[in-house]
Structure 1
Amino acid sequence: MSEFEMDHAQNRIDLYPKRKNIDSIPKLKQGDQVVMHTCSEHDSPENFGKIWTCRSDQFTRGVGVLAQDFVFLEGYRGSFAPEYLQKVDTSILLDQLAEKDASIKRLEGYKVLKGYAEILCRFIDQDGKPVDGFAFREATVQLRTTLDILERDQITDSHLS
């Protein structure tokens, strides 16, 4: 046995510190959502910030000091090292997107109301009397329909802030 091997055996020098405490890190599971970080694949424009879904559970290839963990990702060719993946909770993102979507729909409803109000103003003369009775009635019906929809969805100004 060489001097180095004896020193290693006696002092248990860790030649592979990267593998230290690897079992304490939670393993990725099929269906987990992850993003890449600190790797060359992360820097490519098509992968930057992309949320990937694990196609397989995390698995180990090799034995002993040559053991490496991998996972397959949907839409990615080949396996990927989980040490360059960060698990993300997409439910929070989806909730935030749903809130933003609802706000946009409410704003669109208010824009429609504003448009109908502007149309109604065109059909009223200086004395407040309708100029064109049929067009005025049509715009009023559309305005009432939109108001009913907004009321049904319980939309108020407080929802917009």
Structure 2
Amino acid sequence: MDSKKSMANHSFEMLAQSGEFMNFVLNNITSCVLLLDKDMKLQAFNDALKTIFSNKADEDLMYMRCGEAIGCAYQIEEAKDCGTTSKCCTCELRLAAFDSYINDTVVYKENITRPFFNNLGERVMKDLQFSTRNFYFRKEKYIILIINDVSGQVQSDNKQN
């Protein structure tokens, strides 16, 4: 039995060495996966970003700050850069990402409700669950931010109460 388990792990390890395979896996995860640098600028993302936050086209997203890429209503309404609005100092996503970056803190499944703009220019409230952690790759430090839209789940839970 142990040899089968060992073989399965080894097979996955071989697949993980393929960039094509890893891109396929990441783009088929339903969670939004954002890779951010120390300035909260988007360095990479998966396809779920377009599903959960669909206010901009792909080509416009790279190197944007997180709030700009996901359509933060405060950033759009105040017409300011992400990190400079009146709400940025209390933004749970921003605070958790910086905490992970600076203090090596892992944030796991925190919940927030925030307004965002969709691709039709409509302001919508979203219930989100997010996790953060940092990691090093090629001597650079990054933040991984994983976001799930749990709006339907929260609404269903509220109806049952």
TM tier, shorter chain?
Answer: under 0.3
Q: Greater helix share, 1 or 2?
A: 1
Larger radius of gyration: 1
Q: Which has the higher contact order (CA 8 A, sep 6+)?
A: 2
TM-score (norm 2): 0.22
